[in-house]
Structure 1
Amino acid sequence: MDDRRNIWALVAVALATFMTYLDNNIINVALPAIEQDLGLTTAGMEWIVSSYILTFAGLMLVGGRLADLVGRRRIFLIGLGIFTAASFAAGLSGNVETLIAGRAVQGVGAALLTPTTLAIISATFTDKRERNVAVGIWGAVSALALAAGPLLGGVLSEHVAWEWIFFINVPLGIVTAALAVWAISESRDPVDRRLDLWGLVASTISLSTLTFALIEGTGRGWTSAPIVTALAIAVVTAAWFVTVERRIEHPMVDLGLFRDRVFSGALASLMLWAFGLFGIYFFTSLYLQGVLGFSPTKAGLTFVPMALCMAVAAATSEGVARRFGAHRSVSFGMGIMGVAITSVAFFGQDASMLDLMPSFIAIGIGGGLTIPLTATVLGIMPQDQAGVASGVFNTSRELAGLLGITVIGVILTSRQDSVLSDGGLPWTPS
């Protein structure tokens, strides 16, 4: 019975992961339809995307710690309820202000929900090998969500209505909640720790202001007063966070873990992975539609082979790592990703979907083989701090992904300026 419940607990966690990852990118290809319907300005479109990322990245560390203290299933269900209700409200919104607010509340729910997924896996599958397999499945579902996001966003916005990119979360949320209530056992940090209130405040302010700066820096200018102020606040509150964590008896994050070479190496590799994958995913979507003239549906379909290969590689990564060593499989996967991402730079304005496939498939295989990084981070963190471990993991991934988008955006803007100064035509997404 326990084994069967554990499997259904994994299904519930996988469905929740699918929902939150889906909403990271389902919105992108639907923006033209939303723009036409609501009469959006450029700033409005940016904030429909950014409001979700801002609250999601800024509160994940808090969500992980609350899960450890209050109970992982309880925070899972609270986050799931907030996310589902906010999705329904976003679908009903008739103006841009309501839609942005709904997206921001979605991010709050996702910030509570996402860290608990890996924490529940860690608490449910105590055998190392079973846990690694479960993490591989979790990674495979994440990859499938990356494929489904653009595809579903394109199909629904073209052939149904853009509101359904939010409404589809409602039945998924209800089914996931029912499974979670039955299958997931409650777990928490067994030590009676006080809530590290100042650590929570400092981390939230630092992560939120840093996220804001990364999102808005290119548009507002990196030397503009709002961005300089946001970066300064992020640095000051990060220093405050480190000071608090060093002095408190029960810190939110044990900073001594970062002296562990394996932990720090795994986290650095994870951030490089997110930097490359998120950046290439975001701007390749623009390239497919703005340069190659793909429809939203065709652009979404182009990513499907990449994500399917990533899902297969993620599901089998534990066996590959056990046979060849996690350090070798991860290094091999990172190498494949690096070469494949570099190859995308050589495509021009006449590339076809078939031309892109070898690079996209290689990115997918390489990305999937890096999933043992997740198990490494979870395995090093103490079992009673699994929520914090998941929060650190997901926050690092999200910020590194934002940084990748920012850096590539700066390069793209610089390239456009160079082309314009030479008398050429700028590339702008259609």
Structure 2
Amino acid sequence: MNSMLQPAIANSRTIAYRWWALIALALAQFLVVLDASIVNIALPSLGSELHLSTNTLSWVITAYVLPFGGLLLLGGRLSDRFGHRKLFMIGVAGFALASAAAGLSTSGAWLLAARAIQGASAALLAPAALALVTKLFADPRDRAKALGIWGAVASVGSAAGVLLGGVLTASLGWSSVFYVNVPVAALVLAAIPFLIVKDSLGERVSLDVPGSASVTAGIVALVAALSGTEQVGWTAPQTLVLAGLAVVLLGSFIFLEKRALNPLMPLGIFRNKSVTGGNLAMFLIGGATTGLFFALSVYMQQVLHYDALKAGLTQLPLAGALVAIAGVVPAAVKAVGTRKTLAASLILLAAGLIWLSFSPSDATFAANLLGPSILIGIGLGGAFVSGTELAVNGVADGEAGLASGLVNTSQQIGGAIGLALLTTAASSRIDRLLGRGAAEAQALTGGFSWVFLGAAAFAIIGAIVVLAIVRSSSSSKVSD
């Protein structure tokens, strides 16, 4: 009798503490997002101390992004197979250890290896964390609230990276941007066993090794090709070879998945129009936001001559709007549906980006940046929350990790492609303006305005895609 009662008691405990569990899960996701941007401000300091060239410094970012983007699908499937809580905790532990190793780095090779392990660990914890959220909050209304908090915390990570990176590097040195992860990860690891019970294992079936290898290698090749375009160009042999390899590998993956007995990514999941539309939206949101934060940070420091700390502090209104809108999104979803909420959020995001594109080379924060920042924050907050909810809507528990991995993969690949396209367009615009005799500040401003307009185009396309693909549902406004 006692053994029969234990699962019920454990599940009751999980239900009672699920909002605390959500905070712990969101904190881990915050670290994953934060680490993609917090290192940027520290690059000059660590490059000087570790004697790294400018080209090698770019790999401090790439070494994290490549395994993260490449292993997300596999991480999601592993969590479905071996348990979401178990894979989440393994990922958090690996992330903490790799962060400590990165802070202790005495050479470039050591640092790059630690960053790669960070990325691989993030690929385990991120899909498992989102899968746990969707399982903990099965009721559509509670799930909307939970994803509102999740989206706000994760989204703020992007904006907070610049601020925290500047503060920590200036006060404690570059290694502190890595060490800061360790106590937070330790807190999460200590809390999770008390907040979430051990989940049941998936079916004991063999993993799709050929599919895993082909999609991981294909995504890595694609991200590597796109990440290198700014240094070597779009037509360089390196770019063409890697892009061709990516096409072959990803094509092979689709071929293998159609024939696999237990596929890594059952292609039938895309018959769910919410999953398809949500992932396309997150792909385009990733492209818009990566370009936005890159261009905005450089514009503030190189054109407006803000120092790192001031540039970070100017992100606070945007981050504040993100957090504030998270409390409103669930009500909007309940009133008009996820689809319309997402489309409206993307339009607001596009409007803020277009407004920002008119900022001059002598802009002031209050007159030129504050208004667009708040509008962008509102649009981003609504888009992240409703886009994530749409992408996991109607997915079975056995594919929760897969769906969560897809969301993160879409966002990462969209960010890589968007950044490559937008920075190439900006560089071309800057070169043309300089060739016509424009001052450097005016040329840079003109180039960055193209980045903001391009990001706005991504957001508008995302709104059109969502409205076209995801049809209204008479049965539930959540899936509208």
TM range, normalised to the smaller chain?
over 0.9
Deviation of 1:152 (Å): 0.7
Unaligned runs of 5+ in 2: 1-12, 446-480
Question: Structure 1 CA distance, aligned partners of 2:257 and 2:404?
Answer: 18
Q: Deviations over 1:164-211 (max 9, x none)?
A: 111111111111101112212233564333211111111101110001
Q: For residue 346 of structure 1, what is the aligned residue in structure 2?
A: 358
Describe the SS at the equivalent of 1:93.
coil
What is the alpha-carbon distance in structure 2 between the residues aligned to residue 146 and residue 225 of structure 1? 33
Matched, 1:420 2:434: yes
Letter in 2 for 1:423: G
Give aligned pairs, total. Answer: 429
Q: Specify which of 384, 390, 401 is matched with residue 387 of structure 1.
A: 401
Matched, 1:109 2:121: yes
Question: Aligned partners of 1:188 and 1:312: how far apart in 2?
Answer: 36
2 CA distance for matches of 1:64 and 1:395? 10
Contact preservation (8 Å) 2:28, 2:185: yes
1:363 correspondence with 2:339 = no
Summarize deviations over 1:390-427 as a string: whole Å, max 9, x none: 11000000111111111111011101221232234556
d(CA) in 1 for partners of 2:262, 2:248: 22
List per-residue Cα deviations over 1:352-383 (Å, max 9, x = no partner).
22120110110110111121221121123222
CA deviation after TM superposition for structure 1 residue 30, in Å:
1.9
| 2:277 match | 265
Amino acid at match of 1:18: F
Determine the structure 1 residue equivalent to 2:6.
Answer: none
Deviation at 1:111, TM superposition (A): 0.8
Distance 1:413 1:403 in 2: 15
- Match for residue 288 of structure 1 among 300, 320, 324: 300
1:402 aligns to what? 416
Looking at structure 2, the residues matched to 3 and 65 of structure 1 have their Cα atoms a distance apart, in angstroms, of: 25
Task: Specify the code of the residue in structure 2 equivalent to 1:142.
Answer: A
Partner AA of 2:268 in structure 1? G
Whether the aligned pair in 1 keeps the contact of 2:338 and 2:389 (CA below 8 Å) is no
TM-score, normalised on structure 2? 0.86
By how many angstroms is 1:126 displaced? Answer: 2.2
Q: Return the TM-score normalized by structure 1.
A: 0.96
Which deviates the most, 247-256 or 2-11? Answer: 2-11
Instruction: Report the counterpart of residue 93 of structure 2 in structure 1.
Output: 81
Instruction: Answer whether contact 2:274 2:393 (CA < 8 A) is retained.
Output: no
Q: Is the 8 A contact 1:58 1:208 kept in 2?
A: yes
Rate the CA distance shift 1:160–1:250 in 2: closer, same or farther, 3 A. Answer: same
SS of 1:25's equivalent in the other structure is: coil
Q: Distance in 1 between matches of 2:275 and 2:393?
A: 9
2:200 and 2:219 map into 1 onto residues whose CA distance is 25
Q: Does 1:227 align with 2:245?
A: no
Secondary structure class of the residue paired with 1:218: helix
Q: Encode CA deviations 1:32-70: one digit per residue, 9 max, x unaligned.
A: 222333333111210111111111111111111111111
Contact in 2 for aligned 1:336/1:363 (Cα 8 Å):
yes
Say whether the 8 Å CA contact 1:330–1:372 is kept in structure 2.
Answer: yes
Instruction: Give secondary structure in 2 for the equivalent of 1:94.
Output: coil
User: In the alignment, what sits opposite 2:81?
Assistant: 69
Question: 2-side partners of 1:386 and 1:189: how far apart?
Answer: 13
1:136 and 2:127 correspond: no
Aligned-pair distance for 1:217? 1.6
Tell me, yes or no, if structure 1 residue 157 matches structure 2 residue 169.
yes
Alignment deviations for residues 212-258 of structure 1 (CA, whole Å, 9 cap, x no partner):
01111221122222211111111111111111111112222121232
Map 1:19-98 to 2 at 5 A: 19-98=31-110
Residue number in structure 2 paired with 1:411: 425
Report if the CA contact (8 A) 2:299-2:444 is conserved: no
Secondary structure, aligned partner of 1:380: coil
> 1:67, 1:188 within 8 Å by CA — same for their partners in 2?
no
Greater CA drift, 327-336 or 32-41: 32-41
1:215 pairs with 2:188? no
Q: Which residues of 2 match residues 252-331 of structure 1 at below 5 A? A: 252-331=264-343
| Change beyond 3 A, Cα 1:346–1:428 | closer
Could you tell me how far apart the structure 1 residues matched to 2:273 and 2:138 are?
24
For the aligned residue pairs, the C-alpha RMSD in angstroms reads 1.7
Q: How does 1:199-214 map to 2 (within 5 A)?
A: 199-214=211-226
